[in-house]
Amino acid sequence: MTSTTVVASKAPELRRSVTPWGSFSWGYSDVGADIFVGLGLVLAAAAGASNVAFLFAGLVYVCIGLAYTELAATYPVAGGGQYFVMRGLGDFFGFVAGWAVLLDFTIDVTLFAWTCVDYLSQLIPVFVGSTHPWTHFTVVLLLIVGLAVLNIIGVRESTNFNGFVSGLDVVSELSILMLGFLFAFSPHILVSNMTHHWPTTYQLMLGISYAIISFVGLESISQAAEETQRPASIIPRTSIALILTILIFALAYSHLALGMRPWHPIFDDHGHPMQFWQIFPNNGDNQGKAVALLAAQIPYFGAIAALYVPILGAVLLLISSNSGVFGSSRIAYAMSSNDLLPSIFKRVHPKFRTPVISIVTFCSIAVLELVFAALPSLFPGARQTYAWLFRGESGLDFLADLYAFGAATSYSFVFLALIALRMKDPFSPRKFKIPLNVPMTYRDEKIEFPIVGVVGFIGIFAILIFTLLTHPIGRVAGPLWVVTGIVLYFFYRRHRGLPVFKSQTHDWRTAQVQILKHAGELELMDECIANNKAADERRAAREAVTK
């Protein structure tokens, strides 16, 4: 058995205990919480074109969602995008994609724990970061440690936690939108804000790069694929439901925000616009709790929403942070299983059957990111001393910069992997297949070339360029993270005697059969075996004719 085959062994394995609602809630707990963070950032950057920024990012997100749905249902293993890229493009690119996703998930842990405390500060003033930075920092730190412990105990416990809160939040967000459009929305204000507060090209690019943050998280469903019951059947249903839910919410919230109140610009000390919506005071703390401020402005409903939305938003953000812990540990587990990271990261606790080393390691990295993000507020002198690095940005801006970079980088590779796997592996059964395909022949085999994959790649690569152009920290720290990972990968592979830029030999056929068998997809396993046998017979016939 090769090192790449993800199969049962004598060592403890991940427990297959994620149900259909659990699969949806893992994705929703990550993507659904993103609007609580992204709304304020996009409104501040894109102003009257905030809905356009969300629309552009939303269309790219639909392509991303369809790609992940097909790939996760076809290859239901822990690792998600990293595994797809490794299988489609080779070990080196698989590592780079996985390393970028690891950045995203560790930032996920810190960013959502940070904004969880921001939402709580709406009701508990002592949590306000600008006036009580040490309290804010300490609470965020405790949340990260607590989530690490929760995930070590087991995925079933954290899945149940996610499912309960995700259900409450779906009902709450629908209530905010329905009552907001009923009592507070004005089409005239929407048109006025879009007409008089249209952003510059730079601001629109910045808004789009922030808007993609509101759609990051589908990776969580694929991360849980190896722990999902009958993944080839469940993942397409949960993914499509999640895609539609989040797209509707993001577009609806951005239109509601633009149509509720007239705007006026607020500028920072350098004359740059900070906030455009007048209900947001000139206070960076409020940027991290936009949905709570929005809900509080709805007539009749606002008085109640002001009390419960900060709490519900905080809890949802907490489970999104929890998804970051889950996702980073599963990526590391999968990368270690495929000799892209040291084998210590695939060790599973004998009692809890969770990857405890991976959880502890990447939660520790999340803590380091928290320290760096909080440094300017904890030690104000650091902002002046290292102004060239911080550039006046808040901790939330710093985390969002890296989050956007990691997402755009990893998603770009996933689209390339989708195209490559359609060409290189047409024999694996695809229970769900992206629409809009062009039939063609590649290496004497009939394949279907995915047009959506090309469109999605162009869109996400454009967002990556926007991110590098508009995020000072993102274009420095993001590439630095990738370069650091490549250096570590180089030394690890040399130490193991493995090729660095080439791939080790993989028996993908055997691996795929074992993956489907382990997932309980026995019909698809039989189909996969039959497809491979037929392909071998066609190849033998062609070779016989040639001879």
pLDDT tens-digit readout, 272-310: 554 444 444 444 556 678 888 889 889 989 999 999 999
Residue 435 lies inside a defined structural domain of this protein: yes
Distance CA 355, CA 154 (A): 9
Interaxial angle between packed helices 50-74 and 451-470, expressed in degrees from 0 to 180 and rounded to the nearest 10: 130
Q: Is the pLDDT of residue 348 over 90?
A: no
Please report which confidence band the pLDDT of residue 483 belongs to, taking 50, 70 and 90 as the band edges.
very high
Please report which confidence band the pLDDT of residue 389 belongs to, taking 50, 70 and 90 as the band edges.
low
Residue 372 lies inside a defined structural domain of this protein: yes
Closest of 232, 212, 244, 221 to residue 412, by C-alpha: 212
Residue 220 lies inside a defined structural domain of this protein: yes
β-pairing, 273-277 vs 263-267, is antiparallel
Residue 540 lies inside a defined structural domain of this protein: no
Residue 537 lies inside a defined structural domain of this protein: no
Residue 539 lies inside a defined structural domain of this protein: no
β-pairing, 273-277 vs 437-442, is unpaired
Mean pLDDT of 22-30: 67
Per-residue pLDDT tens digits for 393-405: 567 888 888 888 9
Per-residue pLDDT tens digits for 34-91: 888 888 889 888 889 999 999 999 999 999 999 999 998 899 886 678 889 999 999 9
With H, G, I as helix, E, B as strand and everything else as coil, classify residue 341. coil
pTM: 0.85
Residue 529 lies inside a defined structural domain of this protein: no
Q: Is the pLDDT of residue 5 over 70?
A: no
With H, G, I as helix, E, B as strand and everything else as coil, classify residue 458. helix
What pLDDT, on the 0 to 100 scale, is given for residue 472?
79
The vertex-150 CA angle with 146 and 151, nearest 5°, equals: 120
Is residue 504 within 8 A of residue 91, CB to CB? The reply is: yes
Distance CA 38, CA 32 (A): 11
Question: Where does 139-271 show beta strands of DSSP type E?
Answer: 263-267
Number of structural domains in the chain: 1
With H, G, I as helix, E, B as strand and everything else as coil, classify residue 350. coil
What pLDDT, on the 0 to 100 scale, is given for residue 221?
65
> Tokens in use for 336?
């270690």
Among 209-218, 373-382, 403-412, 486-495, the minimum mean pLDDT is found in 373-382
Per-residue pLDDT tens digits for 304-344: 999 999 998 898 888 888 878 887 887 888 888 889 999 88
Among 27-31, 56-60, 65-69, 348-352, the minimum mean pLDDT is found in 27-31
What pLDDT, on the 0 to 100 scale, is given for residue 350?
75
Q: What is the mean pLDDT of the chain?
A: 84
Q: Kindly state the DSSP code that residue 213 receives in the 8-state scheme.
A: G
Q: Is the pLDDT of residue 25 over 70?
A: no
Q: Domain containing 233: what range?
A: 20-510
CA 495 → CA 76, 339, 402, distances in Å?
A: 30, 12, 30
Burial of 403 (0-12, 13-18, 19+ CB in 10 A): buried
What pLDDT, on the 0 to 100 scale, is given for residue 154?
65
Distance CA 418, CA 449 (A): 10
Residue 429: CATH number of its domain: 1.20.1740.10
Please report which confidence band the pLDDT of residue 181 belongs to, taking 50, 70 and 90 as the band edges.
very high
What pLDDT, on the 0 to 100 scale, is given for residue 19?
58
Is residue 180 within 8 A of residue 294, CB to CB? The reply is: yes
Is residue 329 within 8 A of residue 353, CB to CB? The reply is: no
What pLDDT, on the 0 to 100 scale, is given for residue 354?
77
Q: Which residue has the tokens 């500060």?
A: 121
H helices of 184-230, in order, are 187-196, 201-211, 219-223
CA 204 → CA 265, 349, 395, 416, 507, distances in Å?
A: 15, 47, 22, 26, 46
Residue 3 lies inside a defined structural domain of this protein: no
